[in-house]
């Protein structure tokens, strides 16, 4: 039997074979008590908004970060020839960022205008981690990254406390390591499942040989067509064939897992799924997660992402993840739709996810009314929402796990 196969997606963690312990202390130190009090007051009084003890008030942040930005520009002016410095033309509103947490929540952000801009995007949504495409995900030809942008990116990561273990670049959609055609390794190829798994592992071994420290991270698939990697067993088999086990990891996409038939909607089902993962893959290989709700039902094999709490998964799986220490200190990345190009949604989703930490039930969490409303249910229902079918927002045109780059912002960042 022959298969037309698409392989598991491959991402890469930047050189984090030795992941540093992640502490985000400095932010907390910088926030004055007054800022924090103001922030809490603002967050709790306004429309039962999300309260987070360690956030800074946005305005305070804006002023502070503007100062920092000015200083940075001054430093750069003195060190480098003027023409080399590309200044951003607009002001970035930095979002409150949760500090002192082991949960590194962020989103897939744009590198429009240069890879260094990913940091500005991340800061503007309060992210503690981020994912990026290193090149156009739908084209083979790509310019190499601008070395100047790369060094600005590195500096920005250091300065803003994004350690290498919090950055999860996403591979191109076109790459198909399961393809037997060695020249192309493009989207389709014909071979058996076993052969496909061998090809994937072989390519990862080659990538390891050609690099020093990159960790290849394979993502589970939703299971459409004859794709490889929707079952944890298949991911486990790939890993078993990879020679350097220190440089291979797995990223669980919650939407893909659910679409592939792994339920996560109740504590029991969640634990069953995680036990399966532990048996076939092992949590030592869990290097990241993609946090997405699903527009399609359990086992649909369809890859359609929904905003957190607005799909068939509901909020409960995300509460369970945010309180599961097995997901500590790995990037937890949103790839959710961005309605109306307004990527404020990421800011809200990140704050919502952090709000779920330490909550025994959803009823204990301070979930904004606007969110409850959009779920099409009332506040009392939210505590028992998990596992129920609910009205799904019309947003079904989301293709695969496309990350929607906010076009307006894209144009502004230069």
CA distance 47 to 368: 7
Binding residue count for Zn ion, defined by CB under 5 A: 4
Quote the least distance from Cβ 400 to Zn ion, whole Å.
9
Q: What is the dihedral of CA 350, 356, 362, 365, to 10 degrees?
A: -90
Q: Are 353 and 308 in contact (CB under 8 A)?
A: yes
* Bridge partners (DSSP) listed for residue 4: 190
- Does residue 401 touch Zn ion according to CB under 5 A? yes
Nearer to Zn ion by Cβ, of 191 and 251: the residue is 251
Q: Are 395 and 306 in contact (CB under 8 A)?
A: yes
Quote the least distance from Cβ 290 to Zn ion, whole Å.
3
Among 287, 290, 319, 348, binds Zn ion (CB under 5 A): 290
* Bridge partners (DSSP) listed for residue 334: 107, 291
Q: Residue 12: in which H helix or E strand, if any?
A: strand 9-13
- Does residue 293 touch Zn ion according to CB under 5 A? no
Q: Which of 204, 192, 302, 320 is nearest to 255 (CA)?
A: 302
Q: Residue 293: in which H helix or E strand, if any?
A: strand 293-294
CA distance 217 to 83: 38
Nearer to Zn ion by Cβ, of 269 and 290: the residue is 290
Nearer to Zn ion by Cβ, of 234 and 253: the residue is 253
CA distance 3 to 191: 5
CA distance 336 to 342: 12
Quote the least distance from Cβ 20 to Zn ion, whole Å.
25
Q: Which of residues 108-137 bind Zn ion (CB under 5 A)?
A: none
Nearer to Zn ion by Cβ, of 93 and 402: the residue is 402
Quote the least distance from Cβ 11 to Zn ion, whole Å.
9
- Span from 155-163, 222-230, 266-274, 290-298 in contact with Zn ion (CB under 5 A): 290-298
Nearer to Zn ion by Cβ, of 57 and 401: the residue is 401
Quote the least distance from Cβ 59 to Zn ion, whole Å.
34
- Span from 54-62, 192-200, 246-254, 375-383 in contact with Zn ion (CB under 5 A): 246-254
Please return the burial class of 356, using the count of CB atoms within 10 Å of its CB with bins 0-12, 13-18 and 19+.
buried
Quote the least distance from Cβ 38 to Zn ion, whole Å.
36
Enter the tokens of residue 103.
Answer: 């949960």
- Span from 178-186, 271-279, 344-352, 394-402 in contact with Zn ion (CB under 5 A): 394-402
Q: Which of residues 334-393 bind Zn ion (CB under 5 A)?
A: 335
Phi, psi (5° rounding) for residue 147? -55, -30
Nearer to Zn ion by Cβ, of 35 and 253: the residue is 253
Quote the least distance from Cβ 230 to Zn ion, whole Å.
12
What is the full DSSP assignment across 100-151? S-S-EEEEE---TT-TTHHHHHHHHTT-SEEE-BSS-TT-S--PPPPHHHHH
Quote the least distance from Cβ 256 to Zn ion, whole Å.
6
- Span from 67-75, 273-281, 286-294, 354-362 in contact with Zn ion (CB under 5 A): 286-294
- Does residue 227 touch Zn ion according to CB under 5 A? no
Q: What is the dihedral of CA 124, 126, 131, 134, to 10 degrees?
A: 20
Among 253, 303, 349, 355, binds Zn ion (CB under 5 A): 253
Binding mask 76-115 for Zn ion (x = CB under 5 A): ----------------------------------------
Give the sign of the dihedral formed by CA 404, CA 10, CA 153, CA 102.
positive
Q: Which of residues 317-336 bind Zn ion (CB under 5 A)?
A: 335
Footprint on this chain of Zn ion (rule: CB under 5 A): 253, 290, 335, 401
């Amino acid at each position: 039997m022959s298969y037309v196969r698409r392989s598991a997606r491959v991402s890469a963690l930047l050189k984090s074979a030795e992941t540093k312990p992640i502490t985000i202390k400095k932010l907390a130190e910088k926030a004055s008590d007054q800022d924090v009090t103001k922030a809490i007051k603002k967050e709790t009084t306004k429309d039962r908004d999300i309260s987070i003890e360690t956030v800074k008030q946005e305005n305070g942040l804006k002023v502070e970060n503007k100062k920092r930005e000015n200083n940075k520009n001054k430093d750069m002016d003195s060190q480098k020839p003027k023409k080399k410095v590309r200044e951003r033309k607009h002001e970035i509103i930095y979002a409150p960022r949760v500090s002192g947490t082991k949960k590194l929540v962020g989103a897939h952000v744009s590198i429009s205008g240069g890879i260094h801009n990913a940091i500005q995007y991340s800061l503007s949504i309060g992210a503690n981690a981020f994912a990026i495409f290193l090149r156009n995900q739908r084209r083979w030809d790509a310019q190499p990254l601008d070395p100047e942008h790369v060094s600005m990116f590195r500096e920005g990561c250091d300065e803003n406390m994004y350690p290498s273990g919090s950055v999860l670049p996403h591979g191109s959609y076109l790459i198909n390591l399961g393809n037997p055609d060695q020249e192309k390794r493009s989207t389709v190829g014909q071979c058996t499942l076993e052969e496909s798994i061998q090809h994937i592992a072989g390519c990862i071994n080659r990538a390891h040989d050609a690099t020093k420290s990159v960790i290849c991270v394979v993502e589970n698939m939703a299971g459409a067509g004859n794709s490889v990697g929707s079952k944890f067993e298949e991911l486990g088999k790939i890993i078993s064939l990879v020679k350097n086990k220190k440089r291979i990891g797995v990223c669980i996409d919650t939407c893909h897992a659910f679409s592939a038939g792994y339920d996560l909607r109740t504590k029991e089902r969640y634990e069953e799924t995680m036990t399966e993962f532990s048996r076939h893959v092992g949590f030592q290989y869990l290097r990241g997660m993609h946090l997405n709700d699903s527009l399609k039902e359990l086992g649909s094999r369809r890859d359609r992402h929904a905003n957190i709490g607005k799909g068939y998964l509901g909020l409960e799986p995300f509460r369970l993840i945010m309180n599961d220490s097995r997901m500590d200190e790995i990037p937890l990345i949103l790839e959710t739709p961005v309605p109306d190009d307004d990527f404020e949604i990421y800011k809200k989703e990140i704050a919502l996810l952090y709000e779920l930490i330490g909550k025994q039930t959803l009823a204990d969490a301070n979930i904004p009314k606007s969110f409850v409303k959009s779920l099409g249910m009332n506040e009392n229902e939210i505590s028992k929402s998990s596992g129920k079918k609910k009205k799904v927002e019309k947003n079904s045109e989301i293709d695969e796990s496309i990350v929607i780059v906010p076009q307006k912002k894209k144009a502004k960042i230069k």
